[in-house]
Structure 1
C-alpha cells in the first residue's frame, strides 16, 4: 500500500480499486448493445446506479483526503466532493435514462480532469495524476455506450 501521498507510482491496491469498478460500466455499455431484450434495459438501469455509486465514492475519497492530508486545500476538496456528489445524485433522480446518463458522463470526465489537477497541486494523492484520467475515461466510455444505446432505441 502506498502511504506516501507524494509518490507518483500507482500502488497495486490503487490500480485494483481504481480500474476494477470501471469494469461493470464497460460491461453494461457492451451488454446494452450485444445482449437480447430485456437485458439492455437492465444494463442501462444498473449502469446508472453503479455509475452513481462509484462517483459518490470518488466524492468521498476527495473529501476524506482533504480532511486527512494537512497540505490539501480544504475548499478545493469540499468543492470537488460536492460537485461529484451532486452529479451522481442528479443521475439517480432523473427519470429518462438518456438524460440521467448525462450528469454521470460529465461527472466522470470532470473528475478525470479535476483529480489530475488536484494531484499535481498536492490536493490529492500524486498517483491520481496518472490513474484518474485513464480510470475515469474508461468509465465514461462505458457510460457513453449506454447513452448511445438509449438514444438509438
Structure 2
C-alpha cells in the first residue's frame, strides 16, 4: 500500500506536464530565435521573452498562493513570501531600463522558483508532484532566458 501512495505522490498529472512545459516553449524559442533570426527579429524575440517570462513567473507566484488558500496544512507565511517574491522579481524585470538586467532577474527568478517550489513540495507547501516537475520545467525556461541574455551581452 505504501509503494502505491509513493507512486501516486511522484506521478506528475498530464495537465501539469502540458501546462507546465508548454509555457516554457516560447522562452526556449525566443532564446533560439535571438541567435538564428536577423538582428531586428532577435531584438523582438528578446523583448517578448521578457514580457512572457514575467507573466509566467507572476502566474507561478499565484499558483503558490492559491495552493496556500486551498490547503490548510500549507504554511501561509511561506506561501505569501514565495508569491510576493516571484511577482516582485517579475515586476522588476518589466520596469528596469536595461534588457540584460531584466533577463538576468528573470533567469534568477526561474532558478529560484525551481529550487523553492521543489523544497515547498517536499514540505507540503506546494503540490507534491512539484518536487519532480518544477526543477526541469523552470530550468528549461531559465535556459531560454539565459540564451537571450547571452545574445544581448554579445551584441
Q: TM (normalized to structure 2)?
A: 0.94
Alpha-carbon distance, 1:79 to partner: 0.4
The yes-or-no answer on 1:43 pairing with 2:45 is yes
Where has structure 1 moved over 3 Å in runs of 4 or more? none
Residue 146 of structure 1: aligned partner:
148
Q: Which has the higher helix share?
A: 2
Distance in 2, matches of 1:75 and 1:141, equals 30
Q: CA RMSD of the aligned region, Å? A: 0.8
The answer to whether structure 1 residue 70 and structure 2 residue 72 are counterparts is yes
SS in structure 2 of the partner of residue 71 of structure 1: coil
Within-5 A mapping of 1:63-142: 63-142=65-144
Quote the Cα distance in structure 1 between the aligned partners of 2:89 and 2:133.
21
Matching of residue 19 in structure 1 with residue 21 in structure 2: yes
> Is there any run of 5+ residues in structure 2 with no aligned partner, and where?
1-7
Inter-partner Cα distance in structure 2 for 1:138 and 1:18? 11
Larger C-alpha radius of gyration, 1 or 2? 2
- Give the TM-score taking structure 1 as reference length: 0.95
Count the aligned residue pairs.
148
d(CA) in 2 for partners of 1:108, 1:50 = 12
